[in-house]
Amino acid sequence: MSEVKYKRVLLKLSGEALQDTQDHQILQATTLKNAACAVKKMVDKGVQVAIVVGAGNIWRGKMADSIGIDPATADYMGMLATAMNGLALQDALEARGIYTRLQTAIEMREIAEPYIKRKAIKHLERGRVVIFSCGTGNPYFSTDTGAALRAAETDSEVILLAKTIDGVYSADPKEDPNAIKYDEISYLDILNQDLKVMDSTATSLCKDNHIPLVVFGIDDPENIVRIIKGEKIGTIVK
């Protein structure tokens, strides 16, 4: 444990990061494998790992507008999609010998445990990876907010926010070639500049509970290992 900076972390994986955009599949085998291998390396170093996974590869709330689905119903559909991603990630982790528990904020006992804070912490203390699905269990709250909430509840030391870009920029680097990357930025600056790192509810929750955030690119699975060793990767938000 002396070689790692953090004892307990929460990894937030976006659904988009798991998507196979070339073949238009909801999951990319390589990304899923890389994520599982990176988590295994953390566990092997004695780090307690919780994971929150998004659903953007399957369903996005804004898709409901064009279909005419009620916003709350659309959010519930997104929560169910996170459970699908959670099952896929659980399978990938257990295939590599990592004891894993999937907990959902909406009960579905046939496939997962209901979320119970004390039980989740006990799993973490016993070296099991805990995947939190279904966000907060309430509509109108994002999986980013769910990640911030679970990090606060489980006393996680840091949130590792895995993205398809390698940090926080002043603008979308895919659209603005002059966008500036930040090595470190405050939560207040993110809110004031309206930077699209997390939604404002999640950002405020992290700020109020003094939970640091590391935003990094998921394209290199070794980034996660470097971060827990204390290397400066991506952008640190405090």
pLDDT per residue as tens digits for the range 77-107: 999 999 999 999 999 999 999 999 999 999 9
Mean per-residue pLDDT, 212-235: 92
Q: Is the pLDDT of residue 2 over 60?
A: no
**Whole-number percent of the chain with pLDDT over 70:** 98
Amino acid, res. 1: M
**What pLDDT sits at residue 111?**
97
Longest Cα–Cα distance in the chain: 54
**What pLDDT sits at residue 192?**
95
Q: What is the CATH number of domain 8-237?
A: 3.40.1160.10
Enumerate the β-bridge partners of residue 214.
160, 236
Mean per-residue pLDDT, 201-206: 97
Residues 117 and 193: their CA atoms lie apart, in Å, by 34
The more confidently predicted of residues 8 and 172 is 8
- Lowest-pLDDT range of 23-27, 40-44, 63-67: 23-27
Mean per-residue pLDDT, 178-205: 95
| Other beta carbons within 10 Å of 199 | 15
Indicate the length of the chain as a whole number. 238
102-129: pLDDT as tens digits:
999 999 999 999 999 999 999 999 999 9
**pLDDT band (50, 70, 90) for residue 1:** very low
Mean per-residue pLDDT, 38-64: 92
**Whole-number percent of the chain with pLDDT over 90:** 80
**What pLDDT sits at residue 62?**
75
Q: In whole numbers, what is the pLDDT of the chain averaged over residues?
A: 93
**What pLDDT sits at residue 64?**
84
Mean per-residue pLDDT, 128-145: 97
Beta carbons of 117 and 154 less than 8 angstroms apart: yes
Q: Which two tokens stand for residue 188?
A: 């207040």
Beta carbons of 215 and 197 less than 8 angstroms apart: yes
| Other beta carbons within 10 Å of 204 | 17
Mean per-residue pLDDT, 220-238: 93
**What pLDDT sits at residue 31?**
85
Domain residue ranges of the chain, discontinuous segments joined by +: 8-237
Which helix (H) or strand (E) segment holds residue 158: the answer is strand 158-163
Q: Is the pLDDT of residue 156 over 90?
A: yes
